[in-house]
Amino acid sequence: MQVPTDHHMIAAKRILRYLKKIEFYGIHQTKSTEFTLCGYTDSDFTRSSEDAKNTSSYLFTLGNGPFSWNSHKQSIVAQSLAESEYVAAAEAAYQALWLRKLLMDIKFEQKFPTDLFIDNKSAISIVKNPVWHGKTKHINVKYHAVRDIVEKNEINVQYCPSELQLADIFTKPFQKKLGQSPSRISHYYP
């Protein structure tokens, strides 16, 4: 920037005001003696009007804080919210397997199945009940592998109310509820 203009100065001041406003936001980590991997998964449904593809997100915690997270556009166009949540759960299940292997490599083997919290009961039914096959036949086979992961007892799919879903911060506008703030993420355990 050899010749900055007034627009550049206005933008720089705006950035500095923003940074000042959020200086105390961050990821809150506390000491923990328990290193249990726990996952949260969510998706939005047809938020994108351009291509009708949904956003999948997941967040994994280890100990008392976030450990791994992702948010991205799904590669398919889901026909229902349940399908969109099911696809997001399958993607999170694959990540859970990878994280479990990583933790085993560094001597933090997970002795119990990883809890994966989903805020959609229909998606949980699709995971746990292969009888739904007629209604889910059109879903790509790679997403149905989540059923095998559950059957092998590597993950445990559970319901989590939407207002306690940690992965919501990647798919929906942030709302201050239940004393939460963007600087502190805490677990939900049923």
Distance CA 38, CA 68 (A): 10
Contact at 8 Å (CB) between 39 and 116?
yes
Q: What is the pLDDT of residue 183?
A: 44
Task: Tell me the pLDDT of the chain (190 aa) as tens digits.
Answer: 688 899 999 999 999 998 888 887 776 667 777 788 999 998 876 665 677 777 888 999 888 788 889 887 776 676 666 777 888 888 899 999 999 999 999 998 899 999 999 888 877 887 777 665 555 555 655 656 777 788 888 999 999 887 777 877 777 765 554 444 444 455 554 4
CATH superfamily of this structure's domain 6-170: Ribonuclease H-like superfamily/Ribonuclease H (3.30.420.10)
> What residue type is assigned to position 180 of the chain?
Q
Angle formed by the axes of helices 121-128 and 141-151, to 10°?
80
**Segments making up each domain of the chain, as ranges:** 6-170
DSSP 8-state assignment for residue 111: S
DSSP, residue by residue, 48-83: -TTT---EEEEEEEETTEEEEEEEEE-SS--SSHHH
